[in-house]
Amino acid sequence: MLLVIDSGNTNIVFAVYDGEKAMGEWRSSTRSDCTADEYGVWLTQLMQLKGLNPQDISAAVMASVVPANVFALKTLCRTYFHTEPLVIGEPGVRLDLQIMLDRPEEVGADRLVNAIAAHTRYKGSLVVIDFGTATTFDVVDRQGNYHGGCICPGINLSLEALHMAAAQLPRVAVGRPLSVIGKATVPAMKSGVYWGYVGLIEGLVSRISKEFGEPMTVVATGGLAPLFAEATDVIHHLDSDLTLRGLVEIYRRNITEEKLKRA
């Protein structure tokens, strides 16, 4: 079985796949001071509660946008699962896509993984929206090449900044308000952030499509994607497991390539 690790700025997602089938998925808050042993004890216990044997893990693949976490996660794979992880972005890792950027080395591993997963599953030119700590819009052409995109403050980050910067504005939770016009401070804040974000999504997708010169299929992923997909027609597909499936696909490509070299 394959251990898949998606290390983001807010959460780390661990999953176990048997072929294309997800056998279990768990989340941990991202902490740069968390050790391999802490991850190991936590993860192996959760796997066993799910009926999975940690000794059945035979390979691992990971992507991280937090460099400080990479060493601990590599050590986790080596110590507790006796496997050397395939790390996206390291030399020799095959992605099979062209990065059409001025500085391709700067693009986050998670954005490339999402691009690969989306192109594998959906047809035509794509906009992939990932609702994470930052909200990213990534453009993928019909051949699967990555053309860059936009990076915006995530919705929770926007709410926190509003609370921190304005003395009289409270901390509020994200949610779809019943009306656009708020009749009090909290409803007004919720409306401004939520419907403002819907406007951001619709506006950026429209401008991206116009600039790219053709209609785009829009795929949304990330924890808050369902909340915004219900409010706009510009999002065509919800895909909560996009990043994990992209990591599985990258692992498959690299293992296939290694087998061909040995043949």
Q: Is 179 annotated as a binding residue?
A: no
Q: Is 108 annotated as a binding residue?
A: yes
Q: Is 223 annotated as a binding residue?
A: no
Q: Is 6 annotated as a binding residue?
A: yes
Q: What Å distances lie between residue 44 and 5, 34, 36, 57, 58, CA to CA?
A: 14, 15, 12, 11, 14
21: burial class by Cβ within 10 Å (0-12, 13-18, 19+)?
A: exposed
Would you state the structure tokens that stand for residue 45, as one six-digit string? 């216990």
Q: Is 96 annotated as a binding residue?
A: no
**37, 56, 110, 233: which is the annotated catalytic residue?**
110
Q: Report the run of H or E that residue 201 belongs to, with start and end.
A: helix 185-212
Q: Is 125 annotated as a binding residue?
A: no
Q: Is 128 annotated as a binding residue?
A: no
Q: Is 254 annotated as a binding residue?
A: no
Q: Is 79 annotated as a binding residue?
A: no
Q: How far apart (Å, rounded) are the C-alpha atoms in residues 138 and 135?
A: 10
Q: Is 31 annotated as a binding residue?
A: no
110 in active site: yes
Q: How far apart (Å, rounded) are the C-alpha atoms in residues 158 and 259?
A: 47
Q: How far apart (Å, rounded) are the C-alpha atoms in residues 251 and 263?
A: 18
Q: How far apart (Å, rounded) are the C-alpha atoms in residues 45 and 20?
A: 23
Q: How far apart (Å, rounded) are the C-alpha atoms in residues 80 and 6?
A: 18
Q: Is 188 annotated as a binding residue?
A: no
Q: What residues are designated binding site?
A: 6-13, 108-111, 130, 133, 185
In the annotated binding site for substrate, the residues are: 108-111, 185
Binding site residues for ATP, as ranges? 6-13, 133
Which residues are part of a known binding site for K(+)?
Answer: 130
Residues marked active site are found at 110
